[in-house]
Structure 1
Amino acid sequence: MNPSSTQRKNMTSRLTRIALLTCLTAASMSLSAQQAIKIGFLGTLSGPAGALGQDQYDAFMLGISQLGGKLGGVTVQVIKEDDQLKPDLGVQQAQKLIEKDKVSIITGGTFSNVLMAIHKPVTEAGVFLIGSNAGPSPITGKGCSPMFFSTSWNNDTQHESMGQYATDSGYKRVYVLAPNYQAGKDAVSGFKFLFKGQIIDEVYTQVNQPDYSAEISQLQSEKPDAVYVFYPGGMGVNFVKQYQQAGLLGKIPLLSTATVDGTTLPALKELAIGLIAGTPYSPDIDNSQNKKFVTDFTKKYGRIPSQYAAQSYDAAMLLDSAIRKTGGRVDNKEAFRAALKLADFKSVAGPFRFNNNQFPIRNYYRVEVAKDASGQAALVNKGVVLKEYSDRLHTQCEMK
């Protein structure tokens, strides 16, 4: 007996649903059956500056843990390497990650001298490099690459926020200090860009220098309206302690960037009260994703996250969004790059989108070290200094 028209329609509908279900199941099985995506984490994890890279790594792994050990629904394998703040070693490790470990992505990049060394070997090898801290100016402008994305900033920009703050505060004469390497030079350049007063002197000290007594004595004799410093990691702990011991903290305003943060405040505590910092992140930023991040990070690691942690957590969320959009096909480089450029995730630091050079357009905040409700020294957000701000070098980048 021949089926009726209604029966034929019902049968066709059922077959269509079965076919669709079969396709969806096959796609799901294909995604779940994929080999793990290999990601290299390359950062500074030892020495006086090791706390910065450790915060980056811990936050990146926290993001993966929150997502069930996956990014974009695909299992990932993270291979960790410590560059020890040595550019030559960083290059060797990057080559090992690419040639031996066969990673598709490398993230991290704690210090600019190392990132500058690995940038070309990694990107020219066709491996995506996702920087979550250092942002040296040469790769922000003319040296930009379609294979490099940053979830942090160009080195100049956060220092520009303090240059703007110093100008707004009416400081006329400022004394500037920074370590003698790429990021230190970028720091001074950035501060000077928006500061309208006089730079009394700009002093470059050795990287990881432990004693600043001579420099502090010299700046004191110049009687500046304020002092601006960029001393990340252990350098910042030593400088702030010695500045406070000289009786200058609270007497001559100390402005800074990446000097007192979540990695260094535990060692300084009340000694840092009164310091003013420019930063793209503060633990008390009021949005749901940051509240969860701070709660989970503090619970897991027993410390408040720094900007290094926040930027690396954002790198995990960025990768999660891009891997999901491409169904885990990171080998389709054009599609994966397009998915990264969308930046379809919610940053813990507030507004976030990529400029043409693939560095973020974002807020920069003024944060002060002050006592919180419990009487402990804490980082307190005092508002936005530069709103949804883009670096000034993006116009030199020929990418669109």
Structure 2
Amino acid sequence: MTGTKTMRHKATAALGAMAFAAAALFAGNAQAQVKIGFIGTLSGPGGALGQDQYDAFMLAVEQKGGKLGGVPVQIIKEDDQLKPDVGVQAAQKLVERDKVSLITGVTFSNVMMAIHKPVTSAGVVMVGSNAGPTPIAGAQCSPNFFSTSWDNDELHEAGGQLSTDLGYKKMYVMAPNYQAGRDAVNGFKRDYRGQIVDEVYTQVNQPDYSAEIAQLQAAKPDAVYVFYPGGMGVNFVKQYRQAGLLGKIPLISVSTIDGSTLPALKELAVGAITSAPYSPDLDNAENKQFVTAFQKKYNRLPSMYAAQSYDAANLIDSALTKTKGNVTDKEALRAALKRADFKSVRGAFKFGSNQFPIAQFYRVDVVKDTAGAAFATKGMIVIKQRNDLAAQCKMKS
């Protein structure tokens, strides 16, 4: 009887130990999973941009077996609808309810301006993959914010330099009236060496540009420079073509004709010239495999939005590898991100002191391929290795 009780006691103890071990293992696995919030504009005229960001990020996660840095990750997606207040609500949900360790994405600058301080002040690390408002690259920089794209000034300084290089003496400039649009015009004027005939600001998501196109035609500029991302760009370019101006008054643009809008524009965009930080035909091994994998999975060429978000996933992967999945030590996580020890699809990649890339920009023309479809092709380097706003950033830990 005593022996039986002893055996039962040992068996119970063994089962208890096994249960404890299983619970510990489960807890360890649960603790190891890193929650990452993704915020992007996923609906409306700008939805294609955010979708490109999300698709590319998820492609990188899929390629790594559902892990980043060897750690299982859970991606929680939120649509900001291009509304700053909705973006703030999404950020609050991710930080307070979902308890994410990092937030990535963010498509438009007005949303970024609304969520940047609340998120970074809460101690959550952000890895932006598109929106780069000038203030947060300069005086309002944060040790908890990293970008894999560019700051708005830098993006359009390249457009101004390209227009100067092409010899255009009189430019007509157009952009939507919000943070990125105003940054666009300021950045363009900084590096353009000719005369600005006029600068026109239109409503965000304005569908009809016929009145503005008539006005610019009457102004008789040498060329037109526009910044119209997403559906705005599709509408503007179609109407510019319909007015008979594409090919007559050269169209120079940034973030207007790219992988997110070419599928809708096709041959209508042929002849336009863009300044861009990325082109699908950049000649490096990482980009070649990325373009092949993206096309195979999504049946379209990746845009710069996709490329920057793919880089964001690989940047986070490199950081989590260094911290062995530890996201609680924020100083170690930030240091690992700052090292940027990954291979970018854009080529050489390193951060400036404001944690924005020191990047180069290319001339990308819209041409016809042998099948008659339009696509972008890399041309000359417009600006090489530049990050002007870093000097205005006095990083506070």
With normalisation by structure 1, the TM-score equals 0.91
Gaps of 5+ in 1: 1-27
Partner SS for 1:170: coil
C-alpha displacement at 1:33, in angstroms? 6.9
Deviations 1:59-78 (A, max 9, x none): 00000000010000000000
Q: Does 1:92 align with 2:89?
A: yes
2:253 corresponds to: 256
Name which of 390, 393, 397 aligns with 1:397. 393
Tell me how far apart the structure 2 counterparts of residues 194 and 373 of structure 1 sit (CA, whole Å): 36
Cα separation, 2, equivalents of 1:259 and 1:32: 44
**Match 1:158 to one of 155, 160, 163:** 155
Q: 2:232 aligned with 1:235, yes or no?
A: yes
- My pick for the range that moved more, 157-166 or 116-125, is 157-166
Q: Is the 8 A contact 2:32 2:325 kept in 1?
A: no
Mapped pair 1:294 → 2:278: no
Q: Give the alignment of 1:266-277 within 5 angstroms.
A: 266-277=263-274
Amino acid at match of 2:375: A
Residue 69 (structure 1) aligned with residue 69 (structure 2): no
Aligned partners of 1:48 and 1:234 also within 8 Å: yes
Which amino acid letter does the alignment assign opposite residue 318 of structure 2? Answer: S
Cross-structure match for 2:365: 368
CA drift at 1:370: 0.1
Instruction: Give, in angstroms, the shift of residue 394 of structure 1.
Output: 1.0
Residues 1:176 and 2:173 aligned together = yes
Distance apart, 1:350 and its partner CA: 1.3
Alignment pair present for 1:283 and 2:280: yes
Measured after TM superposition, the shift of residue 383 of structure 1 is: 2.2
What is the rounded CA distance, in whole Å, between the counterparts of 1:33 and 1:211 in structure 2? 51
Partner of 1:59: 56
Describe the superposition over 1:78-110 as per-residue Cα deviations: whole angstroms up to 9, x where unpaired: 000000001011101100101100000000110
Matched ranges for 1:343-358 at <5 A = 343-358=340-355
Is the CA contact (8 Å cut-off) linking 1:351 and 1:363 kept in structure 2? no
1:71/1:320 contact within 8 Å kept: yes
1:287: how far off?
0.5
Matches within 5 A, 1:1-400: 34-390=31-387, 392-399=388-395
Tell me, what secondary structure is at the counterpart of 2:32?
A: coil
Paired amino acid for 1:114:
V
- Residue 64 of structure 2 aligns with an amino acid whose one-letter code is L
> Helix, strand or coil: the match of 2:350?
strand
Q: Give, in whole Å, the separation in 1 of the partners of 2:267 and 2:259.
A: 14
Separation (CA, whole Å) in 2 of partners of 1:29 and 1:346: 34
Alpha-carbon distance change, 140 to 283 in structure 1, aligned in 2, over 3 angstroms: same
Give the Å deviation of 1:290: 0.4
Q: Following TM superposition, by how much is the alpha carbon of 1:372 offset from its aligned partner in structure 2, in angstroms?
A: 2.0
Distance in 2 (alpha carbons) for counterparts of 1:201 and 1:41: 38
Change (3 A) 1:237 1:31: same
Q: Are the counterparts in 2 of residues 40 and 79 from structure 1 also a CA contact under 8 Å? A: yes
Relative to structure 1, the CA distance from residue 140 to residue 298 in structure 2 (aligned partners, 3 Å threshold; closer, same or farther) is same
Alignment RMSD (CA, Å): 1.4
Check conservation: 1:137, 1:154, Cα contact below 8 A: yes
TM-score (norm 2): 0.92
Change (3 A) 1:300 1:59: same
Deviations 1:209-235 (A, max 9, x none): 000000000000011000000000000
Q: Name the count of aligned residue pairs.
A: 372
| Partner SS for 2:314 | helix
- 1:399 Cα deviation after fit: 2.5
